[in-house]
């Protein structure tokens, strides 16, 4: 449940970097995603033609403030997104470091507070920092989107202990792994850890076969969630026999 909206799929996909509009449409359908992210910068470049593509796929749109480096820039972009897409949902990115694309925690919280006060339902791109997460919730966010690793890096879950701590600490808050997922196995692991959804783009868009990769991520996300719900066996330091010791044949 995300801001009182229930989505059938726990895989969210970006829409940038696909080899063609046709491949994008087919990949989105194959993924069975209900939610796609759209950058306002791309909308500005491609305009009406891109909006026609979005109508064909009939998915819920989560506009984002990708590429924003200041509070003013992010807030202004969010206002444009609400007017263009007629939605209060916004994925909030306020970048603080040009190389890693790590969010600026101070600007992120300030922008989140402004947007929440204005009626936006904010999905903040953040890190696994617990204090930052608390500040974003205090600002009015009801979802947190920690990175796995830098955007587009494909490094996967670079800080598993930190992400596990975040999942345990914010046990009642929807948490979406956003950025850095490069393989279906990494998505499955995140879901096994109890995260509520995965948001990715590059791993599908830049795959040799984006359509097939979209299906692989769909299956991995579903499998990981099923495993979490089923309850994973505990890890042990030593071997543990699954065959009972009683009832074995005796040799004389």
- C-alpha 141/C-alpha 143 separation (Å) is 6
CB 37 within 8 A of CB 201: yes
Q: Residue 89 falls within a domain, yes or no?
A: yes
The reply to whether 247 falls in a domain is no
pLDDT at 239: 79
Residue 4 in domain? no
- Residue 241 labeled ligand binder: no
Residuewise pLDDT in 10s, the chain (252 residues): 799 888 999 999 999 889 998 999 999 999 999 999 998 765 555 556 777 777 778 889 999 999 899 999 999 999 999 998 899 999 999 999 888 889 999 999 999 999 999 999 999 999 999 999 999 999 999 999 999 999 889 999 999 999 999 999 999 999 999 999 999 999 999 999 999 999 999 999 999 999 999 999 999 999 999 999 999 888 888 877 776 666 666 666
Q: Are 151 and 127 in contact (CB under 8 A)?
A: no
DSSP H or E stretch at residue 38: strand 35-39
Please report whether residue 122 resides in a domain.
Answer: yes
- Whether residue 231 is annotated as binding a ligand: the answer is no
**Are the C-beta atoms of 139 and 114 separated by less than 8 Å?**
no
Domain count within the chain: 1
CATH number of domain containing 170: 3.20.20.70
The residues assigned a catalytic role are: 91
Q: Is residue 90 part of a domain?
A: yes
17 annotated binding-site participant:
no
Residue 113 lies in a domain: yes
Any domain includes 176 = yes
Is 152 known to sit in a ligand binding site? yes
- pTM tops 0.85: yes
Q: Note the helical H segments in 32-144.
A: 40-57, 71-85, 105-117, 130-139
In a domain, 88, yes or no: yes
* Enclosing domain of residue 203: 11-230
Residue 202 assigned as binding residue: yes
pLDDT (0 to 100) of residue 55:
77
């Amino acid at each position: 449940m995300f801001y009182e909206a229930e989505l059938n799929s726990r895989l969210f996909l970006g829409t940038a970097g696909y080899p063609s509009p046709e491949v994008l449409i087919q990949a989105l359908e194959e993924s069975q995603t209900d939610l796609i992210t759209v950058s306002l910068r791309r909308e500005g470049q491609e305009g009406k033609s891109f909006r026609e593509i979005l109508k064909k796929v009939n998915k819920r749109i989560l506009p984002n403030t990708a590429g924003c480096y200041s509070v003013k820039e992010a807030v202004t972009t969010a206002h444009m997104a609400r007017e263009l897409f007629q939605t209060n949902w916004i994925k909030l990115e306020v970048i603080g470091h040009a190389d890693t694309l790590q969010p600026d925690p101070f600007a992120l919280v300030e922008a989140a507070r402004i947007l929440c006060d204005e009626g936006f339902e904010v999905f903040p791109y953040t890190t696994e920092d617990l204090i930052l997460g608390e500040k974003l919730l205090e600002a009015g966010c009801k979802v947190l989107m920690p990175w796995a690793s830098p955007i587009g890096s494909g490094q996967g879950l670079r800080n598993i202990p930190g992400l596990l701590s975040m999942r345990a600490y914010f046990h009642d808050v929807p948490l979406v792994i956003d950025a850095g997922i490069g393989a279906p196995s990494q998505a499955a692991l995140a879901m096994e850890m109890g995260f509520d959804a995965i948001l990715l783009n590059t791993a599908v868009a830049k795959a040799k076969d984006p359509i097939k990769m979209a299906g692989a991520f769909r299956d991995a996300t579903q499998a990981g969630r099923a495993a979490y719900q089923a309850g994973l066996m505990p890890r042990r330091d030593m071997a543990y026999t699954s065959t009972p010791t009683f009832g074995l044949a005796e040799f004389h």
